[in-house]
Structure 1
Amino acid sequence: SAFLSDATVEFDDETTKVERAADVYKGIVEGESSSHVFGSIHDGIFEGRVRIDNEREFWIESSFRYNSTAPFHSFIYAREEVEMPQNEEHKEKR
């Protein structure tokens, strides 16, 4: 996590305890040395990105985010299946 379990934020003479919402993880796919996995686990469900190589990347999201009544907990989709906005404001930064 980005914060210690007992972290506080002080601002404008007020102190607020920081609540940890999720744990962040990073790693690789076993057997794929050039892969990269990054995401978090919230309520027992992984959300994040899995990049196998420069060609194959997958995003994983909780289906509950969309108020889904699906019988599964996650959506997994390939990056090439997503249509990204093409205007200047939404260009992907790398």
Structure 2
Amino acid sequence: MTPDSIPRLARGMKLREDKARAQWVVLGPERMFVPDEIALEILRLLDGSRSLGAIADTLATRYAAPHDEILADIAALLDDLAAKGVVTA
């Protein structure tokens, strides 16, 4: 994904809070993922209108971290999730 890509959850995938387990999960047809805290922060920002660059800007500001590092980490995570069919751009 590039900084101009607009990532979103793939069709059929949903981010939901599982109150019984007290954790967030990504649900899809016949599968479920439990994101770690970092992935959850990123997934919460996937609204289908923000670019990868805008998401990196938000997180870099929120955590006072280097933008380029954040962008590279987000791109790697989303590329991995795209390969698994969880996100699309």
TM-score range, shorter chain: under 0.3
TM-score (norm 1): 0.22
TM-score (norm 2): 0.22
Question: Normalized per residue, which structure has more helix?
Answer: 2
Question: Normalized per residue, which structure has more strand?
Answer: 1
Which structure has the higher relative contact order (CA within 8 Å, separation 6+)?
2
- Max radius of gyration: which structure? 1
